[in-house]
Amino acid sequence: MKADTKVTKKDGHLFSVQTKKGRFRKLVKQVVAQRQLQVMALLGVLWMIIFNYVPMYGLIIAFKEYSVIRTIAEAPWVGLAHFKEFIQDDAFWIVLKNTIGISVIKLIIGFPLPIIFALFMNELTSLKFKKAVQTITYLPHFLSWVVLGGILTTWLADVGIINDILIGLGVTNERLSFLAEPDYFWGIVIISDIWKELGWSAIIYLAAITSVSPELYEAATIDGANKFQKMWHVTLPAIRPTITILFILAVGNVLNTNFDQILVLRNALNESASNVIDIYVYQVGIQNARYSYATAVGLLKAIIAFILLLAANKVTKKLDGTSLF
């Protein structure tokens, strides 16, 4: 018998089990055999530690009155004062309404659209047409919001192409400056975000669809199912775990309203509809140099997002049996 194993008895049968020393030796051998992959993985782990975990030390300034003339350790403790100040701020309810409103509508409309798009893309038979559609829909994702913001600002101006189209179709008789009207801002943000990310978001669903067994479609065809019935009864159930996981992540990300997008589209005229938590943190923390207060607001948002993630994970686990953990 090898030194790395020991014999144990269970239910009247003898089993050979590895010792802790044997398991450690086996692990070392695997690491040595996969040393190139381990080095690559180690670089990613180091990056996460340096840029994701080490900065967490700075979160303590949310409970202090920090200024740049002192170190974090020297800053005096103020407890929950910054959290209370934010909740009592006159801008709190406006910021909360805009953040939740934009994010929830994005979730309701923007989450199912890539799924529907992927389902229809999967039914295309012409390879050339399919590639053309993919290229057209993927392209906006690779453009930054600085570029797209400039394009949208031009299109939505009172002399822009959107007004030309609406007047040409007889929808309106007067030119509108869309970005100057708070009532239009949420719609602009949601539609432009869907336009930018629709094709890219559908990639993971298309990848999941490719793993569906062709035999299931053949069986459905024999049973007389049409394309829509196949999508509903074969494709959707097959990719449901993927949909569930992405939904959980989307719920956890619901308070993030895409800072870059709103920053380039907002102005003084639509401020009542564009002032979200991320913009509020930017104004208070960067422009007004209230670092502790801004950190407290950001930390509160992160805690709420974590709670939403746990809740979504628990609900989907009970309903569907699929969860992140």
pLDDT at 186: 95
Q: Show the domains of the chain with their CATH numbers.
A: 5-63 (no CATH), 81-320 (1.10.3720.10)
- Exposure class string for 259-290: b at 16+ Cβ within 10 A, else e: eebbbbbbeeebeebbbbbbbbbbebbeeeeb
Instruction: Work out the average pLDDT over 59-83.
Output: 91
Q: Residues 196-213: pLDDT tens digits? A: 999 999 999 999 998 888
Q: Residues 148-175: pLDDT tens digits? A: 999 999 999 988 899 999 999 888 888 9
The rounded distance, in Å, linking the Cα atoms of 276 and 104 is 13
Q: Residues 270-316: pLDDT tens digits? A: 999 999 999 999 999 988 989 999 999 999 999 999 999 999 999 88
pLDDT band at 1 (very low <50, low <70, confident <90, very high): very low
